[in-house]
Amino acid sequence: MTDGGVKILVTGANGQVGWELCRTLPVLGQVVALGHKELDLARTEEIRRMLRQIRPDVVVNAAAYTAVDKAESEPELARLVNAIAPQVLAEELRSSGGLLIHYSSDYIFDGMQQRPYVEDDAPAPLSAYGLSKLEGERAIQAAGCAHFIFRTSWVYGDRGKNFLLTMLKLFEEREELRIVDDQIGAPTWCRWLAESTAQVLAQSLGGPKSVEPARAENSGIYHMTAGGKTSWFGFASAILDSWEQKAGTKRPKLVAIPSAAYPLPAKRPANSVLSNAKLKARFGITQPPWDSLLRQCMAALTNRAPVSDG
């Protein structure tokens, strides 16, 4: 532990989750923010060098390879970033006694069951991306460091590349949009994800700037998503309902279609709904409804233009 309290390293600091974390976590300690330019997770030796130089007490790994379809043609790069890099982080933190917080995905499941997935359900990824995220989970567990793995779903926000920003752009360009209606999940606002992460970390540290983090007994996998469920079509419809039309822009028509009518390189799970019961029982964190979080995000967007992470 540093003299100034807990030192928290955030990777992927310019991404949608990382950006929010860098504004949420400083109350808990000193935050060191590294974007892709400062730390490329595809370079494992650079990861080791950086961690040994910074010596963080906590690493929040918000960096990831997230190009789901592109991963089908470059699975080794996806594996390097989503599996090997978390393994290296975990090994370094095991040696130093630090804590790793890592984000995983609903795409580790095949989506075949009808009920929400719990943490102990058997994974069966359908894509190279999902396989890389599952391998990352297992590598962290095998390394033996104190860790929290948060599986989330359908993450969106006002920066980076995500469904919300894509829809807002297309609403202004298209008169009709065909949206998949047979994949079900819980759209999750990245700000709520960052705030929930901070709540878990605060409890695990025993409060801001605690000297002895009490975290090992709570190590494990937790689902962390918004409440409720919808389809991509339902998500798009809710975004459209909150959309502020620009002068001269015609409201587009949304058409529901099956996944088979919109083939993509990577297969997606039909049911991506995750149960957050374990998270609530252990840390008291409840899930706001997904549409409530969307309204909050859209309200925040009214005061500023959407930006990209460059």
β-partners of residue 309 are none
Residues in a beta bridge with 177: 254
Q: Where are the beta strands (DSSP E) in the chain?
A: 7-11, 30-34, 58-61, 99-105, 146-152, 155-156, 176-180, 184-185, 188-189, 220-223, 230-231, 253-257
> Residue type for 73, please?
S
Torsion of CA 91, 93, 95, 97, to 10 degrees: -150
Q: What is the 3-state secondary structure (H, E, C) of 245-302?
A: CCCCCCCCEEEEECHHHCCCCCCCCCECCECCHHHHHHHCCCCCEHHHHHHHHHHHHC
> Tokens standing for 117?
């997935």
Least Cα distance to 276 among 289, 263, 264 occurs for 289
Q: Which residues of 253-277 are buried (b: 16+ CB within 10 A; e: fewer)?
A: ebebbeeeeeeeebbbbbbbbbbbe
How is residue 198 written in tokens?
Answer: 């901070």
For residues 10 and 62, is the Cβ–Cβ distance under 8 A? Answer: yes
Across the strands, what pairs with 33?
10
Burial class (CB in 10 A: 0-12, 13-18, 19+), 218: middle
Q: Give the type of residue at 269.
A: P
Q: Tell me which of 129, 156, 222, 262 is the catalytic residue.
A: 129
- Tokens 């709570």 — which residue? 218
Is 117 annotated in the active site? no
Which residues form the catalytic set?
129
